[in-house]
């Protein structure tokens, strides 16, 4: 089977909904930008905070571990990612903790992604096996 490289959309596979079952959720390791309106719909800020001051709001959201950064030119917030790239809202089973309120970019994926209609689908089992092997090799070396 051709291996998928999340950073290289040319290796992605043609999307079909059945691919999501048992998937590693590589799509949730890519940067996600949201507006203040979306943060409101996600339940993280109050309605009166939507129109600013957004810089101050961003500082608060960074401290809360919700976002990683704010771009004052685009007025978009980038959701926090863990060191391995995982979105902070991904749970231990690699499912979205805020699925019902997830941002629009997540709802629209893969049709709004780097390669519309294609996704970096990888089986959870397969990725876990590769990570385990890599870890064991690291321990031996």
Residues of the shown chain interacting with ligand SF4 in the complex, contacts defined by CB under 6 A: 28, 32, 87, 89-90, 96, 98, 102-103, 106
DSSP state of 4: P
Pick 22 or 52: Cβ nearer ligand SF4: 22
87 touches 94 (CB < 8 A): no
Sign of the alpha-carbon dihedral angle for 96, 100, 105, 111 = positive
Whole-number minimum distance, CB 2 to ligand SF4, in Å? 24
Report d(CA 50, CA 43) in Å as an integer.
Answer: 12
In angstroms, give the least distance from the CB of 92 to ligand SF4. 12
Least distance from ligand SF4 to the Cβ atom of residue 140, Å? 33
């Amino acid at each position: 089977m051709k291996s998928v490289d999340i950073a290289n959309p040319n290796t992605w596979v043609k999307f079909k909904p059945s691919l999501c079952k048992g998937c590693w959720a590589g799509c949730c390791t890519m940067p996600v930008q949201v507006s203040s309106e979306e943060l409101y719909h996600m339940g993280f800020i109050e309605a009166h905070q939507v129109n600013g001051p957004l810089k101050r709001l961003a500082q608060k959201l960074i401290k809360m571990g919700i976002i990683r950064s704010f771009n004052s030119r685009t007025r978009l917030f980038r959701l926090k990612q863990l060191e391995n790239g995982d979105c902070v809202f991904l749970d231990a089973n690699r499912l979205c903790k805020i699925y019902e309120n997830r941002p629009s970019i997540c709802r629209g994926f893969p049709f709004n992604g780097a390669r519309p209609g294609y996704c970096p689908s990888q089986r959870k089992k397969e990725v876990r096996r590769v990570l385990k092997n890599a870890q064991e090799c690291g321990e031996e070396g």
